[in-house]
Structure 1
Amino acid sequence: MSDERRGYVYGLTAYAMWGFFPIYFKFLRPSPPLEILAHRVVWSVVFVALLLTVMRNWRFLGRLVRTPRLLGGVTLAAVLIGVNWGTYIYGVNSSRVVETALGYFITPLLVVLLGVTVMGERLRPLQWAAVGIGGLAVAILTIDYGRLPYIALTLAASFGCYGLIKKRMSLPPAEGLFVESAVLMLPALAFLTWLNLSGEAKFGHVSATHTVLMLIAGVLTAIPLLLFAAATNRVPLVGLGILQYVAPILQLAVGVLIYHEPMPPARLAGFGLVWLALIVFTADGIRSVRNAARIRAAQAMTA
């Protein structure tokens, strides 16, 4: 198997795991979302710490401590990914899996807007068209829901801003996940302590299966992130752009086909516009990459 094909296998596996996460989080009920999030943070730290110990790779902590700006960026990234994880768990366990899928569908469009507003990037006409179609879709879905799809928008905004911050840092995936989880670990432990003292904790009091599933939350958090990192080193950017739609497609299927969440005509129309925006966005990206490759080839021939 070639290195690129191996990268696609890693990427598909990562996105498939993320796509079926709603099923996993449903099994963690009756734990409330904050308890699930706290355990996810704590066991992520434990698992990645073991992994880094095996890899004998703790030197990055020295660089982190000596670089306040990097430490501040990691802290902000930790808060954003914590908001993302918590919102996602809440959405799944409040029977809004379809809305969580919408959040990850519109994330690429929001990232484009962040590129314009924060990074000062200029959009091509088709990119503006995709963003406009996506905005119309959100308006239609707002009318259908009778409210802003706040779960979807929170997921998209938190993950988009998280990606923007991560782009400006240079921590590898395992090290980055460890530090981000470690930043959240103290409040997570404080919350779990309060839950136990108040007698509200579900961990260890529901069933053996529930306890084991809570314990492996950290493993299931880390594995797809590490697989994704392996894929990014092997798969072209266009390929990664297409792969990113696997997870929300699977989440949507899980919400509609397994949990029978409603998909009335207006909602379906809104999703249809989102998909149209993503088709336009992806097609423009593929065309741009191909044009750049042709220009490089022409320059190489004339050099």
Structure 2
Amino acid sequence: MPLFAVPSVKSNSLGLLAGLCAFLIWGFLVVFWHMLDAVAPFEILCYRIIFSFVSLLPVVMLTRRWAEVVSAFRNRRVALTMFASSCVVGLNWFLYIWAISTGQILETSLGYYTNPLMNVLFGFLFLRERPSRLQGIAILLACIGVLLSFLGHNQFPWLALSLAFTFALYGFIRKTVSVEALPGLFIETIVLIPFSLGWILWLYWNGEGFLCSPAVREGFLLFLAGPVTSLPLVMFAYAARHMRLMTLGLLQYISPTCTFFLGIFMFGETLNPTALVTFIFIWLALLLYTVESWRQTRHLPH
């Protein structure tokens, strides 16, 4: 069955439900990570990696994907590529958690709104994919928005662009190897788990960190960091195989939109006029990007 085939109405409905749930979970994760503000961001990252491994292990075994994991490690090029993707996704996760813990939620929203445009830019720079006229205009509008943010505050939105850049780079690296999402994430947790365990043990040895003063609430949330990482990925993987590409592309805006409204109405972040203008330029760019994506995907066989 083709990757984005729609074999039946029931399959399409289940795919849509899975996709909605995945992007809603990703959108509301900002609330989850904010509840862990008593734990240092890098320590949260370490526990996220450890418990992601724990939660993914039975899924990989039950779905019989272990052979794919072993095969990836046996191929030197694939193994090195997955090591690189592990480092990049680890950096992306850390930046996201750190941004939330330091009250920069709107920056994360801006970053993930910018991500599709960053993907187009990566395709142009590294894969020689020539952007269409509308895509070129979209990238130009996004650049104008970023420039206005810099001129308005004399501050470059490095965090938003770093999130977009690392996520686009992660996608680019993963595109170079034929490892699917579920076994791929499991491999990445395997690569990162020694460093995570080492950091937590080092903190404990020095009388610091969560293990030295454990709390039930934070302990439970840290344990849940694994499932809330792996569950939406499994849902997304299912949705990708049972939905049309255009529909899936539209759903990706749910997450940063949720984060945007949560940042303003739940966490009280201020959307100043300059930031609003920046967002408007990004939204206009995404509108052009979406129109162009629709024009391209409507010609694909379903």
| Identity among equivalent pairs (%) | 31
In the TM superposition, what is the alpha-carbon distance from 1:64 to its structure 2 partner? 1.5
Which residue number corresponds to residue 49 of structure 2? 41
Which residue number corresponds to residue 191 of structure 1? 199
The change in CA–CA distance for 1:189 and 1:241 in structure 2 (over 3 A counts) is same
Name the SS of the counterpart of 1:200 in structure 2. Answer: coil
Where do 1:1-303 residues align within 5 Å?
A: 2-203=10-211, 205-290=213-298, 292-293=299-300
Whole-angstrom CA distance in 2 between matches of 1:44 and 1:242: 27
- TM-score normalised by structure 1 residue count: 0.93
Name the SS of the counterpart of 1:59 in structure 2. Answer: helix
Letter in 2 for 1:117: L
Structure 1 residues 123-150: Cα deviation after superposition (integer angstroms, max 9, x where no partner): 1111100000000011112234432111
For the 8 Å contact 1:31–1:203, the answer to whether it is kept is: no
In the TM superposition, what is the alpha-carbon distance from 1:204 to its structure 2 partner? 6.6
In the TM superposition, what is the alpha-carbon distance from 1:284 to its structure 2 partner? 1.3
Whole-angstrom CA distance in 1 between matches of 2:86 and 2:292: 32
Name the SS of the counterpart of 2:156 in structure 1. Answer: coil
Letter in 2 for 1:209: R
For the 8 Å contact 2:263–2:269, the answer to whether it is kept is: yes
Whole-angstrom CA distance in 1 between matches of 2:198 and 2:62: 28
- TM-score normalised by structure 2 residue count: 0.94
Name the SS of the counterpart of 1:111 in structure 2. Answer: helix
For the 8 Å contact 1:203–1:214, the answer to whether it is kept is: no
The change in CA–CA distance for 1:289 and 1:86 in structure 2 (over 3 A counts) is same
Name the SS of the counterpart of 1:262 in structure 2. Answer: coil
Aligned-CA RMSD value: 1.5
**Aligned length in residues:** 294
Letter in 2 for 1:21: L
Letter in 1 for 2:138: A
In the TM superposition, what is the alpha-carbon distance from 1:188 to its structure 2 partner? 0.7
In the TM superposition, what is the alpha-carbon distance from 1:50 to its structure 2 partner? 2.2
For the 8 Å contact 2:204–2:212, the answer to whether it is kept is: no
Letter in 2 for 1:233: R
Letter in 2 for 1:138: V
Whole-angstrom CA distance in 2 between matches of 1:212 and 1:260: 26
The change in CA–CA distance for 1:289 and 1:56 in structure 2 (over 3 A counts) is closer
Whole-angstrom CA distance in 1 between matches of 2:240 and 2:28: 21
In the TM superposition, what is the alpha-carbon distance from 1:168 to its structure 2 partner? 2.2
Whole-angstrom CA distance in 2 between matches of 1:194 and 1:176: 28
Letter in 2 for 1:31: V
Letter in 2 for 1:149: P
The answer for unaligned runs of 5 or more in structure 2 is 1-8
Whole-angstrom CA distance in 1 between matches of 2:31 and 2:22: 15
In the TM superposition, what is the alpha-carbon distance from 1:202 to its structure 2 partner? 2.0
Large movers: runs of 4+ above 4 Å: none
The change in CA–CA distance for 1:210 and 1:204 in structure 2 (over 3 A counts) is farther
